[in-house]
Structure 1
Amino acid sequence: MSKLYCPLIKKLRLERGWSQLEVAERLEISRSSYIAFEQGKRELTFGEAEVLSQIFDISFEDIRAGKVVCHEVMQTKSNKNETKPVVVAEDRISVPQERVEKFKQVLLYILLKIGGKPNVGQTTLYKILYFIDFDYYEKYDEQLIGARYIKNTHGPTPVIFAKIIQELEESGKLETIKSKFYKYDQTKYLVNPNEAISLTELSGMEIAHIDWELNRLSDMTAAQISALSHKDTPWFIAKDRQVLDYEFVFYRPVETSVGEYDQL
């Protein structure tokens, strides 16, 4: 069966506001198997295609061909009393949400855990934040911080980072210092030990995800983690200074993919 159905399935799911898990449960398969459908990493069986045709109310032939059927969402009358379709744009979760308070809590938590390591400077922090955000989206199809990252020479850079640092400094929660890591200049951030850190914006699952990322990434040098980010599809497919698209995590190479996908 042609994999033209991959974008069709995702489009239909998003139009209806369904999660990947909801569709997977209707198909009686695992969520990871369903994600693999959308990413083109797993073929649909004919039986699964038939079920999807019933779920989305389109023909089996359209599913097989990947034919996108445009449904009229609502009708409105024009001045000439003609009925015209009004297209309602789908609410794509991949659009960065940029939760500022959550960003602050995540950054302070990271600095509290690993900020004292000699290799952890500004560049390394940029990449750790990037992988926390984009890996979470690949795993759960949801945004954690939802920050916007742009393509820079040394890898992804969070757009709002400087503003966050300024606000945290003004509130006395951290201090910026200049240092060196071997022969390279380095900007580090130290958390004020007298200021309590709040994690009210974070769920237990999100904290566990952050800890997992810190465990695997925090010992990398800036050069090593930058090189890893350069292999990641959202970064290398973007143009210079362009905001990275979360949706491209579903087209990652094996070196950066963190999803678990069932195989037939």
Structure 2
Amino acid sequence: MDNVSDFDGLLSKRIRSIRERLGYSQQRLAELLGISRVTVSQMEAGKRKLSASDLKRLSDILETPADYLLNPDKEPEVVIQGVRESEEPVQSMRVSVPQEKVDKFKEVLLYILNKVGAKPNVGRTVVYKLLYFMDFDYYEQYEEQLIGARYQKNQYGPTPMEFTKIVQRMEQDGDLTEVKNKYFERFQTKYLARRAPDLSVLSGRELQVIEDVLCQLSDKNGTEISAYSHGDVPWLATEDGQVIDYDLAFYRTPPYSRRQYTEDV
């Protein structure tokens, strides 16, 4: 058998690291990929070459950009208020987040967790989609951004690219705690709020949109809300792996549209 290349070795370690962070066993990842546990073990040992389709499925299931998997010697960089995570960032993987957006993101997330985070169906996938609909509903109605996160299209619906880095900071600051549990037969990542949100950073109309989305969607489980997000025009009009353009919100159709558009007479 050929020796494991440096690239394959780094890629296999990255796959294992992300799997473990998500709380998946090798068996569970094998089930999601539709392959054997032995094949997953070989993949993580760098003994199995990955095809383009393998990488796409891994990207979708691990909710990780393909660029992140294909650049195992580089860390994707989220830049917050000019603080850089590496000396030589990869520009195509760089996400710049102004501090004011980070602050808004934190308080909206804490608002969600305080309101509906205790529901057994509300895990990370549901939170992702709640944030997406809050952002795009608000933009459609007011032509302004609420959180203004960047959402990447993947198999399970829109994924906020800044989420992981901001949540890590919130954990360090004691704002929330990440926990793993089982929801029916699936592993689930949940977040427990450790403080109430600071409502002073949210306007009345922002709170109204947030409440409307929670009322409409927070009872859906991850599978249901992901399927629902797949019918929204911004998601439909975006290529896999690409960032969803906020302006696509103006092309929404019922039941997703939040504006009353009138035709010229």
Partner Cα separation in structure 2 for residue 119 and residue 232 of structure 1: 21
Shift of 1:197: 2.8
Q: CA deviation at 1:214?
A: 0.4
Q: Please, what TM-score do these two structures have when normalized by structure 1?
A: 0.61
- Report the equivalent of 2:131: 129
Question: Are 2:236 and 1:205 aligned?
Answer: no
Structure label with greater radius of gyration? 1
1:196 is displaced (CA, Å) by: 4.3
Paired with 1:191 and 1:227, the residues of 2 have a C-alpha distance of: 27
Cα offsets for 1:104-134 (capped at 9, x unmatched): 0100011000000000000000000000000
Judge conservation of contact 2:111–2:196 (CA < 8 Å) in 1.
no
Percent identical residues: 53
Name the residue aligned to 1:223: 223
2:163 maps to 161
What does the per-residue CA deviation read over 1:55-114, in whole Å, with 9 as the maximum and x for residues that have no partner?
xxxxxxxxxxxxxxxxxxxxxxxxxxxxxxxxxxxxxxxxx9781110001000110000
Which whole-Å deviations, capped at 9, do the CAs of 1:174-214 have from their partners, x for residues lacking one? 1000011111111000011xx34312221111111101110
| 2:141 aligned with 1:142 | no
Counterpart-to-counterpart distance in 2, 1:220 and 1:166: 26
Distance in 1, Cα, partners of 2:139 & 2:196: 29
Task: Give the letter for the 1:183 counterpart.
Answer: E
Query: What RMSD, in angstroms, separates the aligned Cα atoms of the two structures?
Result: 1.6
Q: Which residue of 1 aligns with 2:256?
A: 256
Task: State the distance in 1 between where 2:170 and 2:199 align.
Answer: 15
Gaps of 5+ in 2: 1-96
One-letter code aligned to 1:222: G
Q: Distance in 2 between matches of 1:201 and 1:258?
A: 23
Question: CA contact under 8 A between 2:114 and 2:196: conserved in structure 1?
Answer: no
- In 2, Cα distance between the equivalents of 1:261 and 1:136? 15
Q: TM-score, normalised by structure 2?
A: 0.60
Q: What is the aligned residue count?
A: 167
Q: Which runs of 4+ in 1 moved over 3 A?
A: none
* Corresponding residue of 2:182: 180
Do the aligned partners of 1:151 and 1:241 also contact (CA within 8 Å) in 2?
A: yes
Segments of 5+ residues of structure 1 without an aligned counterpart are: 1-95
The equivalent of 1:238 in structure 2 is 238
